[in-house]
Chains A and B, each alone.
Chain A
């Protein structure tokens, strides 16, 4: 029996939190290093935003760096890393993540606050897994015997509350999302024994926008 650690110490413990701090710090340093030119992004490689998320199928905690894909900031792309400790998932889970988001509504209220519903498409790749979690089949299994099972696609539907912070950052947002993935959707559509609602779960997150 594996020891079940309390929730809060895990959330603020070890590798996960260090990765999150590192990503945000790197992005933040880049921003403040150019504080005299707050509207000017120093280079296209520098992320426009950082994101951390709790749950939502991407790991217990996942952290991302993101870039806008259009001038209006409706579309963005992010890469990230998700982690769940063995105490929560029996075997530790490491994920490489990519995410496309479309914030299709920017509805302003109370001056600097915006309500931004969004749709996201994400993908994950399992890192450091056993031979039976694979993208390409192991040598001992004949070609075509199984489909790749180390990659998953996710559909996210969410709502973000963003506040602009012109003197400090471009903005900060908190969001809630409802997510599902290809496996759960397929099973829900294939079998009436799997209820549609069982395919969905929740995630919570924070977004920090560095540049206007």
Chain B
């Protein structure tokens, strides 16, 4: 064994630095590719549904409601946190919708960071899965952390339908339009129906046939608003009486607030 000519003082400094770093949050980690969600982060949607039920008892069916829309934070968690802090301080906003791409690479650590930030809201929040969220083991993580990809909930006579419409990455799997049609067919029971899906129907990853199919369903079922992410710049398209809204990413300095009155829907764009 050769003796090193590196002074022991230098080695000692290195050793102490290493020991300092060993005070890390997670003691042993097997791999960044793990999809095993911590027990306290599982089935978050159940808790959020409970919070919605409590809100419904406080807010009457005829009262106007406000909810916020954020999307596409990817790895810009500090921008997401700024939006979350602003939304938290606005007591008129009842809940938050995230229109997808909460993670950048579909890694567990990204999902955990997102979960931690959204947990500061003290308001219920609901997510739709985005194309970046499905990468690596992201789909398995999403299902454990939040629940099924396609789901809906109602707030009195307003229905919110969350629809996985990621096409490109899930080839050859197609969005479950039968499920969407079934959800929208109950339109008569609701004053408004909002559909939240990550990819806007005019995106390049949609074929013209799929785009037409989605738009036709929005028209046929008189959907009040189709909410999307994916394109990071806030955008809005009105076509055939349907408004398609792209929320915009917090790193672009915006989030949206949707105000729903008895008959009118007002879209506000808030700067971060």
The reply to whether the CB of A201 lies closer than 8 angstroms to some CB of chain B is: yes
CB nearest neighbor in B for A58: B31
Q: How far is the CA of A187 from the CA of B221 in the complex (A)?
A: 42
- Residues of A near B106 (CB, < 8 A) are 132, 149
Q: How far is the CA of A59 from the CA of B29 in the complex (A)?
A: 8
CB nearest neighbor in A for B23: A197
Contact B1 A171 (CB under 8 A): yes
- Residues of B near A34 (CB, < 8 A) are none
Write the A168-185 contact mask toward B (1 if CB under 8 angstroms, else 0): 000100001110010110
Contact B23 A141 (CB under 8 A): no
- Residues of A near B30 (CB, < 8 A) are 55, 57, 59-60, 84, 88-89, 93
Write the B109-149 contact mask toward A (1 if CB under 8 angstroms, else 0): 11001001100000000000000001111101100100000
CB nearest neighbor in A for B110: A187
A183 with B32, Cβ < 8 A, contacts A149-B136, A159-B18, A202-B24 known: yes
Contact B21 A93 (CB under 8 A): no
- Residues of B near A82 (CB, < 8 A) are 31
- Residues of B near A132 (CB, < 8 A) are 106, 134-136, 138, 169
Contact of A126 among B3, B28, B33 (CB under 8 A): B33
Contact B21 A191 (CB under 8 A): no
- Residues of A near B75 (CB, < 8 A) are 186-187, 190-191
**How many Å from the CB of B112 to the closest CB on chain A?**
9
Contact A201 B29 (CB under 8 A): yes
Q: Count the A-B residue pairs with Cβ separation under 8 angstroms: how many? A: 173
The reply to whether the CB of A32 lies closer than 8 angstroms to some CB of chain B is: no
Contact B135 A91 (CB under 8 A): no
Q: How far is the CA of A195 from the CA of B81 in the complex (A)?
A: 14
**How many Å from the CB of A72 to the closest CB on chain B?**
5
**Residues of chain B in range 152-181 having any CB-CB distance to chain A below 8 Å:** 168-169, 171-172
CB nearest neighbor in B for A85: B30
Q: How far is the CA of A191 from the CA of B73 in the complex (A)?
A: 11
B-binding segment of A23-31, A35-43, A104-112: A104-112
A178 with B109, Cβ < 8 A, contacts A104-B6, A140-B168, A146-B135 known: no
**Residues of chain B in range 57-82 having any CB-CB distance to chain A below 8 Å:** 75-78, 80-81
Contact A149 B135 (CB under 8 A): yes
- Residues of A near B185 (CB, < 8 A) are none
The reply to whether the CB of A130 lies closer than 8 angstroms to some CB of chain B is: yes
A72 with B36, Cβ < 8 A, contacts A59-B31, A82-B31, A201-B28 known: no
The reply to whether the CB of A115 lies closer than 8 angstroms to some CB of chain B is: yes
**How many Å from the CB of B122 to the closest CB on chain A?**
17
The reply to whether the CB of B270 lies closer than 8 angstroms to some CB of chain A is: no
- 21 A-B pairs whose Cβ atoms sit less than 8 Å apart in the complex: A55-B29, A58-B31, A84-B34, A89-B30, A89-B36, A90-B36, A93-B34, A106-B1, A117-B18, A130-B136, A157-B18, A176-B22, A183-B105, A187-B77, A190-B75, A194-B77, A197-B23, A197-B24, A198-B25, A200-B21, A202-B24
Given A56-B28, A106-B3, A190-B76, 16 more A-B residue pairs with CB atoms under 8 Å apart are: A59-B30, A59-B31, A84-B34, A88-B36, A90-B144, A117-B11, A117-B18, A133-B135, A162-B1, A171-B1, A187-B77, A187-B113, A201-B24, A201-B27, A202-B22, A202-B24
**B-side interface residues toward A, CB under 8 Å?**
1-4, 6, 8, 10-11, 14-15, 17-18, 21-37, 75-78, 80-81, 105-107, 109-110, 113, 116-117, 134-138, 140-141, 144, 168-169, 171-172
